[in-house]
Structure 1
Amino acid sequence: MLEQWRTIADLDAARQRFEAAIPGWQPPAAFGVARLVAGRPVFARVAVGDGFLPAVVLASVCGHASGSASYSLTPADLDRVIALLTPAVACTDLPHPNLHAWRGLRQQLSLGEDALAVFAADLSTPSENPHVTAMLEQAAVAR
C-alpha cells in the first residue's frame, strides 16, 4: 500500500523528514516550477510564503539547500517530485495547488523538453539569475 499523509500532522511530519535529509536546509521565500517559452520561464505557480512541504520535496530532487537558484528538471525529475508529493492529496483539509499546477505543467512538456525549478531566498534581494528575477517579477505582480 502506498504511503498517504491524511492529516496536517502527517504533512508536517513528512516536511520535517524531508528537511532533515537536506543539510543546511533553509525554506525559500518563494519557489516555482516553470517551462521555458521563447527562453523565458512561464511558471505553473509561484508560491510565496507557503507550500513548505512542496518546496522541500522539490529541493530534495534538485539538490537545493538554500539561497536563490534555478535548476533544470528533466521530465523524469518532475515525475519524481510529483510522486514524492502525491501522498499529500490524502489530506483533504488543505488544497494542494503546487501539486496540481506541477501535474498540469508536466502534461504540457513536449518530448525532450525540460522544466525549471526556481527558488528565491528573499523577495527583496535582486538576483543575477534571470530565472529567479523572472519569478520574483511574477510574484510581485500576483501580490
Structure 2
Amino acid sequence: MTEQWDTPDKLAAMRDATEATVPGWRRPALWAVGISAASSEPEWEFPCVNRGAGYLPAVVLGRLVRHSRTTETLPVSAEVLRRAVDDLSPAEACTLVDHPNLVAWRWLLGEIESNPARDLVVVYVDDLDDPVSSEADGELRAAASGEPA
C-alpha cells in the first residue's frame, strides 16, 4: 500500500475498500492487540483498546491473521505485526486524526524485540454478549469496562 491517505474521507474509503476484500468481514464490537506479561504470570497488557472504533487497523490486521468475524483470540508474530504497521502507515498522512493503534503496535514491536519470550495476540470480540474466548479476551473486556480482570 503505497498511496497516502491524507484525509478522513480517504481513510474511510480505504477502510471500506479493505473490508470488502475480506469475505464475511464484520466490524468487531471490541478488539485489541495484547502482549503477555514480562513475568511468568498469565497476564495481558493492551496498550490500545478499541471499542466501537479503530476499524481500519482492525481489518488491516484481520486480513493478515485471517480473521473475518466471530469472537476469537489469535496469535500474532512480530513479523505479521510489522507488516500490519507497514500496511497501515500511509494513514499517518492524515494529521487530522490520531493513530493510536500504530503507536501501540510500534511500542509492542519494541517490547517483543527487547524480550522475545513475550507473546502477542489479537483479540476480536464480535458481540459483547459472546462467551469469553481466552484469558486475554477476559482481560480485554475487563480493561474496556474499567473493571479489574
Same fold (TM over 0.5): yes
Corresponding residue of 2:8: 8
Structure 2 residue 136 is the aligned partner of structure 1 residue 131: yes
- Quote the residue 1:43 is aligned against: 46
The total of aligned residue pairs comes to: 142
Structure with higher strand content: 1
Deviation by residue 1:25-68 (Cα, 9 ceiling, x = unmatched): 00001110111112221112111111111111111111000011
Gaps of 5+ in 1: none
- On the 8 A contact 1:59/1:65 being kept in 2, the answer is yes
Q: Secondary structure at the match of 2:49?
A: strand
**CA, structure 1 residues 126+120, in 2 after alignment: closer, same or farther (shift >3 Å)?**
same
Per mean C-alpha deviation after superposition, the further-off stretch among 133-142 and 42-51 is 133-142
TM-score computed with the length of structure 2 as normaliser = 0.88
Structure 2 portions without partners, runs of 5+: none
Alignment of structure 1 residues 41-120 onto 2, 5 Å? 41-109=44-112, 110-111=115-116, 113-120=118-125
1:138 alignment partner AA? A
Distance 1:111 1:128, change over 3 A: closer
- Amino acid across the alignment from 1:122: D
1:133, 1:126 → 2: CA distance?
A: 9
Cα distance in structure 2, aligned partners of 1:111 and 1:119: 23
**Deviation of residue 99 (structure 1)?**
1.0
Compared CA separation, residues 32 and 16, structure 1 to 2 (3 A): same
Partner of 1:141: 146
Give the secondary-structure state (helix, strand or coil) at the position aligned to 1:16. Answer: helix
Quote the offset at 1:7 in angstroms: 0.7
Q: Secondary structure at the match of 1:33?
A: strand
Deviation at 1:112, TM superposition (A): 5.6
